[in-house]
Structure 1
Amino acid sequence: MATYQYRCPAGTHFEESHPIGRAPEAPPCPACGEPSRRVITAPHLSRTGSPAFRLIDSTNRSAAEPEIVISRIPGSPRRVQPYSSNPSHRKLPRP
């Protein structure tokens, strides 16, 4: 949906949202009811940053092409680290 700006003969400005290409030529003014003319304005470009667009694009893309990350082969034995390299873990009781 696109937002179109209109001005009535009395000078009132108002906006309406319509599908692109289906905006009425002279909608009635909400204040006075007179037919209004469309005002040509600059497009309202989105102000969201590229990280937001990347998130939206990846969300839309994942609906059809899910991103699968496999950390190990299914059915293979899980490799467990026998000890921790963190020095504070040495003080813990051992089984």
Structure 2
Amino acid sequence: MPSYSFRCIEGCEFDAMYSMSEVPRQTDCKVCGRAAKRTVTAPHLSATGSSAFQLVDRAARTAHEPDVVSRLPGQGRKPQRFTSNPLHAKLPRS
């Protein structure tokens, strides 16, 4: 069910849920009781399929469900001493 924003003359703002066929142009303010008109707002579009949303979801999930690992990070790999990128050869050496 869609959520609609309303604002009264006193400046109170609130959201209310109505079906699309029954949404009024104005209703009583939930805060002060005066007439409140429906305001134009941006639609709340879902981004659940985007990679950014999936990244946020994975980060939130790992906060309370951390991954189980079989070894410490960095073990089992040989450290790479030399880079294969020719541009790195131009960097200053310490």
Task: Tell me the TM-score normalised to structure 2 length.
Answer: 0.49
Task: Tell me the TM-score normalised to structure 1 length.
Answer: 0.49
**CA radius of gyration, larger in:** 1
